Amino acid sequence: MVILLKNIKKYLNKVVTLRGWIFNIRSSGSIYFCQFRDGTGEIQAIVSKKDVDEETWQLTKKLTLESSCEITGKVYQEKRSPSGYEMLVKKLKVFQIALKYPIGKKSHGVDFLMDHRHLWIRSRRQQAILKIRDEVIFSIREFMRKNDFVLTDTPILTPTPCEQVELFKTDYFGEKAYLSQSGQLYLEALIYSLGRVYDFGPVFRAEKSKTRRHLIEFWMMDAEMAFVDHQENMRIQEELVSYLVEKVIKNRKKELEILKRNLEPLKNVKPPFVKITYDQAIDLLKKKGVKIKWGDDFGGDEETILSKSFEKPVFIEKYPAGIKAFYMKPDPENQKYVLNDDLLAPEGYGEIIGGSERIDDLNTLEEKIKEFKLPKEEYQWYLDLRRYGSVPHSGFGLGLERTVAWLCGLEHIRETIPFPRLINRLRP
């Protein structure tokens, strides 16, 4: 019977068949020790000359790293083997004997690994990261459903920008179109139908940033909620992030161990998070010797310092209106500021969420569109939302890869997505 390794406990001391790949191999003359994986788990497969027929033995001698095969034999628990389980192989069937595998045990440079990303993703470390990514995606969906959000979809080809960052342009049958930077404006339309909504998909930013935090194509979970103000918006964000941390710690213990992730800082991630204003953040940075003035936006270096200053995630709220997007609602207490928040993950990771309460008044929004020199005709449909049943509403966008980088404790965002698109990399 063909089984998956994740179910091995049910088949101990039975003869089963496994299909997968050899990722390590060592021989002591008459015995081969093969580390074998099938995508759901690992096992040490032992082929002993005295226990197999000649055909199987000759085939075993040909096995190379990453050869694909089917192995049949008795499986049992073995504490000394790396996976805790072993199979004494009786029969081997080979799908393909792999050519000399380019990724070896010696350490490779980043460029080499990135050029071989299509193979690198097979490594134990990359598997662990991709499984944590899956856990985060799944937990986000679970949280959103539990909290009455409807999953919906927004277009990738759009006629107008959402954020004030670089756009990818494309030709739409003779018309200019852009790849979406965020589905937010469309989600705002959908709340009038569904109340609370979110989308979750790839967005594109032609930012010329070559940092450990920037991807050109990344996945964003963008949420939008009717009748939710700025304070409630932050409360929902902190609940979501705490939920994700809890789920990853609970369900991806083994993967976190493979990544040698220190769990102590993650255990602190419980509401309430720290909250400071933009002005307080500027003061704090100045006290730490950073040369910054009121009205400057925070770059990666400032975010790192701010994020390292607290044990928990920190909200930075109420930025100067001039450095934030046109749709953000001015703070009624002081119109110089907007009711927005950036949520910074601790341990130096920096921003993982950007959110705000949106302008719900027609005149104010029209003024902003003028002030930002946006083409008013293109935003008529968006202005309609302030003409027909406008309500206070808020939302936020969570960057999946930045969240995964933080939870996994990675130095660079490039490992958090199977095929990263970076400023200098479109391949493989």
- Check residue 230 for interaction with ligand AMO (CB under 6 A): no
Least distance (Å) between residue 298 CB and ligand AMO: 12
**207 CA to centre of own chain:** 19
Applying CB under 6 A, the span of 27-35, 278-286, 371-379, 394-402 interacting with ligand AMO comes to 394-402
- List the one residue from 355, 365, 414, 417 that touches ligand AMO (CB under 6 A): 355
Using CB under 6 A as the binding rule, whether residue 238 contacts ligand AMO is answered as no
DSSP 210-246: -STT--SEEEEEEEEEET--HHHHHHHHHHHHHHHHH
Query: Of these, 316, 401, 408, 410, which contacts ligand AMO (CB under 6 A)?
Result: 401
Q: Quick one: which of 247, 246, 251, 252 has its CA closest to 267? A: 246
The residue assigned the tokens 């808020």 is 394
Binding segment (CB under 6 A) for ligand AMO, from list 170-178, 280-288, 307-315, 352-360: 352-360
CA–CA–CA angle 226, 229, 235 (5° rounding): 105
Nearer to ligand AMO, 72 or 211 (CB): 211
CB of 384 to ligand AMO, least distance (A): 19
Helix (H) or strand (E) holding 275: strand 274-277
CB of 260 to ligand AMO, least distance (A): 24
Distance in Å, CB of 184 to ligand AMO, minimum:
4
- Rounded distance, CA 330 to CA 328, Å? 6
Q: Which residue has the tokens 């959908």?
A: 190
3-state secondary structure of 113: helix
**400 Cβ neighbours under 8 A, 6+ residues apart:** 133, 136, 137, 200, 218, 219, 220, 221, 416
Sites for ligand AMO among residues 142-181 (CB under 6 A): 162-163
| For ligand AMO, the closer CB: 346 or 354 | 354
Q: Decide if residue 346 touches ligand AMO (CB under 6 A).
A: no
Give the nearer residue to ligand AMO in terms of CB position, either 103 or 423: 423
Tell me how crowded residue 404 is: count the other CB atoms within 10 A of its CB: 26
- Out of 261, 356, 386, 405, name the contact with ligand AMO by CB under 6 A: 356
Pairing state of beta strands 330-331 and 334-338? Answer: antiparallel
Using CB under 6 A as the criterion, which residues of the chain lie in contact with ligand AMO when the complex forms?
Answer: 162-163, 182, 184, 205, 207, 214-215, 218, 220, 222, 351-356, 395-397, 399, 401-402
